[in-house]
């Protein structure tokens, strides 16, 4: 089904490095081939994504549109690290938005400062994406 050996993990394939080449992948829903461009691969690595897409860009867009159909979308930026995201409800305080990684860090620090809450609340464990290393 794959034109070349299937790549499922960007790290194990060496794609976290600065050199990227277009590769052919196949949509898991339709079986249609699509090109995972060097530019997309660079974006994925920059965002900390470790797996290659399993659906074509058109199919991913179609799924997003179905998910958010009729809902307003608000672009947000993490106030600590600058990651960009989208949410479906307007934030009451747009300047107090955290990505999941920064929120987990802040929440866990709060729990450490308040040990009495550790009996009722659990720390959040999220693996931070590895930052792209400059050579």
Give domain status of residue 127, yes or no: no
Positive or negative CA dihedral for 42, 127, 53, 90? negative
pTM recorded for the entire structure: 0.46
- Average pLDDT over all residues of the chain: 80
User: Is 28 found in the same domain as 84?
Assistant: no
Band (26; pLDDT cuts 50, 70, 90): very high
Q: Residue 91: what pLDDT?
A: 82
User: Is 58 found in the same domain as 5?
Assistant: yes
Band (15; pLDDT cuts 50, 70, 90): very low
63/54 Cα distance (integer angstroms): 13
Number of domains within the chain = 2
Neighbours of 15 (CB within 10 A): 23
Neighbours of 45 (CB within 10 A): 21
User: Is 61 found in the same domain as 11?
Assistant: yes
Domain range for 38 is: 1-67
Give domain status of residue 131, yes or no: no
Give the pair of three-digit tokens for residue 73: 């979308």
Q: Which residue has the tokens 């060097």?
A: 38
């Amino acid at each position: 089904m794959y034109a070349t050996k299937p790549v499922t993990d960007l790290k194990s394939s060496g794609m976290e490095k600065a050199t990227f080449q277009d590769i052919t992948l196949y949509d898991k829903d339709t079986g249609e081939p699509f090109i995972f461009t060097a530019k997309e691969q660079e974006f994925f690595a920059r965002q900390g994504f470790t797996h290659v897409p399993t659906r074509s860009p058109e199919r991913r867009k179609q799924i997003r549109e179905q998910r958010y159909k009729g809902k307003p979308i608000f672009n947000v930026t993490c106030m600590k690290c600058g990651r960009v995201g989208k949410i479906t409800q307007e934030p009451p305080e747009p300047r107090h938005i955290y990505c999941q990684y920064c929120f987990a860090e802040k929440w866990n620090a709060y729990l450490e400062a308040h040990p009495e809450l550790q009996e009722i609340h659990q720390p959040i464990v999220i693996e931070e994406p590895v930052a792209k290393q400059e050579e």
